[in-house]
């Protein structure tokens, strides 16, 4: 269990995942707990704030900002000692921006919450750089990495919302589809390679969940709540969530159904580093 002296608002839960991987289902599962509120996606708007914070951490900027207070005299009044003039001096330090960014996030995401409620969010737009900074900003945060197998992810995303622009009966259409699938594979490998590196930095504060774990009868949800330091909600409530179809609207249209076998053939013939994928899949809890 977590130290009860640490405010629950200082212990957010960040769910990082690719799209079409069950993040909405995991969000609903976590929110079964009466003292958790895991918000949905927010368009990745924190990236800009995190990038701004990261700028202050660059060595040159850090030195100038740390020295800013004591060098104020070099930028005001009559310039007497020209060699001491420092036009890049600013009045805040990286830690100042860090504190304010942390306070801003808490204010935004705990709006209307009582102090006994632990907040968090799921977001499919954050990669290693953003998640790493989030974990640094909140030293008691917990990261949940959710992953779906590459073929399942690709299939779902390719036909997401029943839309497809590819004629898989033609050579041109298959080539275009293969190109798109290649981009998906590259994105998947890059994202999870980076997220696992974050896990290696914060092993005690990271949980890894496979899409296959989000199924009725799975023991993984109970383990996850324990890893978060939370009591186990009602088993019946958990099963209701896992047994219901939920998440983003998704239906195969007739064209998608007709092309499913062709898409599976393209997936089977895909050329990529299967050894690396196998290693990543194993680390992500997938066989």
In three state form, how does the secondary structure of 154-208 look? HHHHHCHHHCCCCCCCCHHHHHHHHHHHHHHHHHHHHHHHHHHHHHHHCHHHEEE
Please provide the DSSP assignment of 52-108 as one string. Answer: HHHHTTSHHHHHHHHTTTTTGGGSSS----GGG--TT--S--HHHHHHHHHHHHHHH
Distance of CA 8 to the CA centre of its chain: 20
CB neighbours (10 Å) of residue 279? 13
3 found inside a domain: no
Report which of 257, 229, 188 is spatially closest to residue 12, judged by C-alpha positions.
229
Q: Does residue 86 sit within a domain?
A: yes
* CA dihedral angle for residue 183, residue 187, residue 190, residue 196, rounded to 10 degrees: -150
* 1 domain-assigned: no
Residue closest to 120 by CA, chosen among 30, 238, 19: 30
pLDDT tens sequence across 262-285: 888 999 998 889 999 999 999 999
Instruction: Take residue 213 and report the two structure tokens written for it.
Output: 């774990």
The residue to which tokens 């202050």 are assigned: 56
Domain count of the fold of the chain: 2
Determine which of 177-191, 217-231, 257-271 has the lowest per-residue pLDDT on average: 257-271
- 172 and 83 both lie in a single domain: no
Cα–Cα dist 242/212, whole Å: 11
Domain containing 143: what range? Answer: 8-56+93-283
140 belongs to a structural domain: yes
Complete edge-to-edge strand list for the sheet that includes strand 13-17:
36-39, 118-123, 13-17, 142-147, 206-210
- pLDDT of 257 > 80? The answer is no
pLDDT, tens digit (0-9, with 9 covering 90-100), for 186-217: 999 999 999 999 999 999 999 999 999 999 99
Residues 6 or more apart whose CB falls under 8 angstroms from that of 256 comprise: 159, 162, 164
Token digits of residue 147: 């992953």
φ and ψ of 192, to 5 deg: -75, -30
Q: What is the arithmetic mean of pLDDT over 216-232?
A: 97
Domain stop point among 44, 73, 92: 92
User: How many CB atoms are located within 10 Å of the residue 264 CB?
Assistant: 13
Q: Which residues of 6-20 are buried (b: 16+ CB within 10 A; e: fewer)?
A: eebbebbbbbbbbbb
Does residue 188 form part of some domain?
Answer: yes
Q: Is 134 found in the same domain as 37?
A: yes
Residue 93's H or E segment, with its range, is none
Whether residues 52 and 101 fall in one domain: yes
Same domain as 139, residue 181: yes
87-108 confidence digits (pLDDT tens): 777 777 778 889 999 999 999 9
Question: Looking at the structure, do residues 106 and 29 belong to the same domain, yes or no?
Answer: yes
What pLDDT is attached to residue 82?
Answer: 72
């Amino acid at each position: 269990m977590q130290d009860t002296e640490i405010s629950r608002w200082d212990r957010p839960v960040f769910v990082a995942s690719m799209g079409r991987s069950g993040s909405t289902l995991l969000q609903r599962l976590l929110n079964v707990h009466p003292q958790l509120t895991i918000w949905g996606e927010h368009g990745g708007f924190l990236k800009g704030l995190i990038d701004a914070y990261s700028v202050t951490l660059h060595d040159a900027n850090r030195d100038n900002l740390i020295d800013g207070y004591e060098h104020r005299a070099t930028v005001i009044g009559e310039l007497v000692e020209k060699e001491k003039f420092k036009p890049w001096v600013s009045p805040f330090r990286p830690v100042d921006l860090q504190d304010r960014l942390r306070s801003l996030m808490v204010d935004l995401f705990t709006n209307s919450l009582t102090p006994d409620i632990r907040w968090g969010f799921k977001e499919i737009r954050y990669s290693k750089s953003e998640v790493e900074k989030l974990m640094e900003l909140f030293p008691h945060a917990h990261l949940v990495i959710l992953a779906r197998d590459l073929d399942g992810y690709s299939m779902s995303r390719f036909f997401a919302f029943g839309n497809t622009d590819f004629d898989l009966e033609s050579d041109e259409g298959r080539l275009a589809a293969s190109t798109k699938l290649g981009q998906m594979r590259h994105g998947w490998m890059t994202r999870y390679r980076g997220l696992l590196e974050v896990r290696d930095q914060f092993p005690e504060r990271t949980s890894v969940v496979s899409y296959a774990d989000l199924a009725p009868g799975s023991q993984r949800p109970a383990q996850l709540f324990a890893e978060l330091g939370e009591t186990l909600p009602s088993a019946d409530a958990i099963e209701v969530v896992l047994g219901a179809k939920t998440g983003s609207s998704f239906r195969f249209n007739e064209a998608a159904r007709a092309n499913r076998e062709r898409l599976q053939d393209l997936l089977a013939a895909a050329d990529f580093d299967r050894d690396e994928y196998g290693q990543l899949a194993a680390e992500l809890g997938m066989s």
